[in-house]
Structure 1
Amino acid sequence: MAWQNPWYDATQAHHTPEGFRNPEEELRQPGDLQRWRRERKQQNLPQPPRAGYPAFIESWCQAVDLSGTDDRIWWLGHAALLLRLNQRYLLIDPALSARASPLPFAGPQRKTPAPLSLAGLPHLDYVLISHNHYDHLDRPTVKRIARQFPAAHFLVPLGMAQWCRKRGVRTVTELDWWHSVALNGIQFTAVPARHWSMRTFWDRNRTLWCGWVVRNPQLNFWFSGDSGYSENLHAIAQQLGPFNLAALPIGAYAPKWFMRGQHMDPDQAVHLWQHIGRPLTIPIHWGVFELADESLDEPPRALAQALQIAGEENSGFAPWRIGESRSLVNLD
């Protein structure tokens, strides 16, 4: 019997009887994946950073400093973030292993060191997951969290709770797009993203993908998750904004003809940032894994160029060092 989506709701455009879908047009065509792989191999892409990997690490990486008690956010590289809100710690998409892969010996390798050791956290209260790709949902990291912080509450999009429970997670809540849950004075809302899901060859789009909005009296934070650009994303700011903090992706966009339906490029990220009111924004989804054809150091250069072309100077949308943090006090 064919698999049927147990969460299917015919009133929701992103639901199908077989799983989930984007409201936007599918831009990839049959044979595109093979073409991309062939061209990538022919051109020997991606190239190393201009000054080499050691210099890139020296310039862009630092260890996480957890001292202090203020509300604070840390960028952990790629899409991983750590927040401290009223002494509660929250991790988002914590892929901290050596590879973004189901195999320990193959697949995209971490090119920069993880800036955080889970053992250094005094406690962990919440974990948000955007979708089930290996660079966002990391099995070894999830299993370590489940062992070390058994009380941690996972919030995930539809379809991912069973996977988490099988890895030892005790408390997990699944949410559909636009659905919210309030926990200890923090509101978490799953919001749309233009992406897809797949963990094995047999489960494509059987679980949902999302971004997250995290709100308390002082913070209104939009984490876009892994997403291609779409004007549909504007509705998130219209319904849940204004935001005083955001995290938008700027990497894994090359070649654009192949990646544009699932990863936005820096020009699109700047356009979206302007549309949502130019909050302080962390550029994410770069600096760790070579998932596309651009080098590790190209996204920050492309972001600077995109901001210049857009006429933006001294903006709040500048690259952070991996491990860098900012206080969340007085963001407005």
Structure 2
Amino acid sequence: MNLSELLNGLPIGDYSASPQSTGSHFRNITPRPANTPQPGAKLMWDFLFNKPKNTEPSVDIPVRRLTTTELNKAPDGSLYRLGHSTVLMKLRGGWWITDPVFAKRASPFGFAGPKRFHAPPISIDELPALQGVLLSHDHFDHLDEQAVCQLAGKTQVFLCTLGVGDRLVAWGVPPEKVQQYDWWQGTEINGVRFTATPAQHFSGRGLGDGNRTLWASWVIENGDQRIFFSGDTGYFKGFADIGRRFGPFDLTLMETGAYNEHWPYVHMHPEQTVQAHIDLNGRWLLPIHNGTFNLSMHAWWDPFERVLELSQQRGIALATPMMGERLNIAQPHTTERWWKLPMQEQQVPKKSCCQPAT
């Protein structure tokens, strides 16, 4: 990204005809409440320079390495978390990937910004040919320019929201591979139906292009099977509406991470994630948007621990696969607390070399 792009963003088409448009920008269904806490200078200073040490793992977290051979043999309906909100799914023989981010940092800069806790379980070069890429919005932890350009040659179609496709074309993705949709619009590819649905968030990659592109969640219909991909979102009444239109959902891939008391409008706390899953009439819940980048002030393991406790209280079937672990979409399994040992290692006080032996 050059300086001009950082300041102004790339050119975006005219989408003023969209019901979500104000004429030049996109907006949420529910306006931001007047009493919503606003991040101040102190919060930003603490976010940049005074983060607690437990916001990042102090030891390596377990990651299951994937191979091309394994993926080529994977049965239909296989799902793998690759990190953050990047999920790889095999649907009707075709591979789909959500918000593919393989960069070392969720940032416009390669030398600064939130750094990955772990390497992806598989590289882009090792991935099989993709039926498609599904994009929720254009923030750096969801839209990785280098990954998109690398994937362009092995991907048949990129499904995205209004304006995001303009970015892909500007980066060199062939226009015929890019399909852009407004909320409640979508397409069917190889027997699988994809519909962009509302989310409560925001967008932008430069200092001057805020909300120029649309954000969304996605509904995936594979025959009688229903999958929900939340993208990034705050909790809002739209979940219940989506649930009425498309539910029940066999599996919900729900944002649970990078939350803070100052931005509940655009990122859900674990309690809201669980409630959104209930609103959607979901069966199995798989929390995403966690375990890869340090994007808030909470402990890195907090999203897993809290959503696990809440799910147990509400009787919700929860899957928390480690990165690279296979999950059967039709019959998910309850997974181990893979984050427990690294979490405990970080919580154990380290004995000083000057402490007397006991």
User: What residue in structure 1 maps to residue 157 of structure 2?
Assistant: 153
Q: CA deviation at 1:276?
A: 2.4
Q: CA deviation at 1:240?
A: 1.4
| Shift in alpha-carbon separation, 1:6–1:329, aligned structure 2, 3 A | same
CA contact (8 A) 2:203 2:211 kept: yes
In structure 2, what is the Cα distance between the partners aligned to 1:264 and 1:30?
A: 14
In structure 2, what is the Cα distance between the partners aligned to 1:181 and 1:114?
A: 29
| Shift in alpha-carbon separation, 1:108–1:27, aligned structure 2, 3 A | farther
- Partner letter of residue 324 of structure 1? E
User: What residue in structure 1 maps to residue 21 of structure 2?
Assistant: 15
In structure 2, what is the Cα distance between the partners aligned to 1:4 and 1:102?
A: 18
- Partner letter of residue 322 of structure 1? M
In structure 1, what is the Cα distance between the partners aligned to 2:147 and 2:33?
A: 33
Is 1:75 aligned with 2:81?
A: yes
- Partner letter of residue 133 of structure 1? H
- Partner letter of residue 328 of structure 1? I
Matched ranges for 1:270-289 at <5 A? 270-289=274-293
- Partner letter of residue 220 of structure 2? V
| Shift in alpha-carbon separation, 1:218–1:72, aligned structure 2, 3 A | farther
User: What residue in structure 2 maps to residue 36 of structure 1?
Assistant: 43
User: What residue in structure 2 maps to residue 120 of structure 1?
Assistant: 126
- Partner letter of residue 134 of structure 1? F
In structure 1, what is the Cα distance between the partners aligned to 2:38 and 2:269?
A: 23
- 3-state SS of 2:241 partner: helix
Higher-Rg member (1/2): 2
CA contact (8 A) 1:47 1:294 kept: no
CA contact (8 A) 1:248 1:281 kept: yes
User: What residue in structure 2 maps to residue 312 of structure 1?
Assistant: 314
Q: CA deviation at 1:5?
A: 6.9
In structure 2, what is the Cα distance between the partners aligned to 1:330 and 1:31?
A: 42
- Partner letter of residue 115 of structure 2? Q
TM-score, normalization: structure 2?
A: 0.82
Q: CA deviation at 1:115?
A: 1.2
In structure 1, what is the Cα distance between the partners aligned to 2:120 and 2:52?
A: 21
In structure 2, what is the Cα distance between the partners aligned to 1:30 and 1:282?
A: 28
Q: CA deviation at 1:4?
A: 9.4
User: What residue in structure 2 maps to residue 54 of structure 1?
Assistant: 59
CA contact (8 A) 2:13 2:166 kept: no
Q: CA deviation at 1:72?
A: 1.1
CA contact (8 A) 2:257 2:288 kept: yes
Is 1:261 aligned with 2:271?
A: no
Is 1:24 aligned with 2:30?
A: yes
CA contact (8 A) 1:267 1:306 kept: yes
CA contact (8 A) 2:247 2:282 kept: no
- Partner letter of residue 318 of structure 2? F
- Partner letter of residue 16 of structure 2? Y
- 3-state SS of 2:323 partner: coil
In structure 2, what is the Cα distance between the partners aligned to 1:229 and 1:68?
A: 35
In structure 2, what is the Cα distance between the partners aligned to 1:330 and 1:32?
A: 42
User: What residue in structure 2 maps to residue 6 of structure 1?
Assistant: 14
- Partner letter of residue 316 of structure 1? A
CA contact (8 A) 2:78 2:329 kept: yes
CA contact (8 A) 1:4 1:18 kept: no
Q: CA deviation at 1:323?
A: 1.5
Alignment deviations for residues 84-110 of structure 1 (CA, whole Å, 9 cap, x no partner): 112201010010110111111111111
User: What residue in structure 2 maps to residue 99 of structure 1?
Assistant: 105
Equivalent of 1:301 in 295, 302, 305? 305
TM-score, normalization: structure 1?
A: 0.88
Alignment deviations for residues 101-142 of structure 1 (CA, whole Å, 9 cap, x no partner): 111111111112111212222211100110000000001101
CA contact (8 A) 1:157 1:208 kept: yes
- 3-state SS of 2:152 partner: helix
In structure 1, what is the Cα distance between the partners aligned to 2:86 and 2:290?
A: 10
In structure 1, what is the Cα distance between the partners aligned to 2:191 and 2:271?
A: 36
- 3-state SS of 2:228 partner: strand
- Partner letter of residue 225 of structure 2? L
In structure 2, what is the Cα distance between the partners aligned to 1:201 and 1:152?
A: 32
CA contact (8 A) 1:77 1:287 kept: yes
Please, what is the CA RMSD of the aligned residues?
A: 2.2
- Partner letter of residue 166 of structure 1? A
In structure 2, what is the Cα distance between the partners aligned to 1:114 and 1:251?
A: 18
Q: Structure 2 stretches of 5 or more lacking a match?
A: 1-10, 333-358
| Shift in alpha-carbon separation, 1:18–1:279, aligned structure 2, 3 A | same
- Partner letter of residue 17 of structure 2? D
- 3-state SS of 1:84 partner: strand
In structure 1, what is the Cα distance between the partners aligned to 2:241 and 2:30?
A: 14
Alignment deviations for residues 225-277 of structure 1 (CA, whole Å, 9 cap, x no partner): 100111222111111112111101110112x1x12011101111111222222
In structure 2, what is the Cα distance between the partners aligned to 1:289 and 1:330?
A: 29
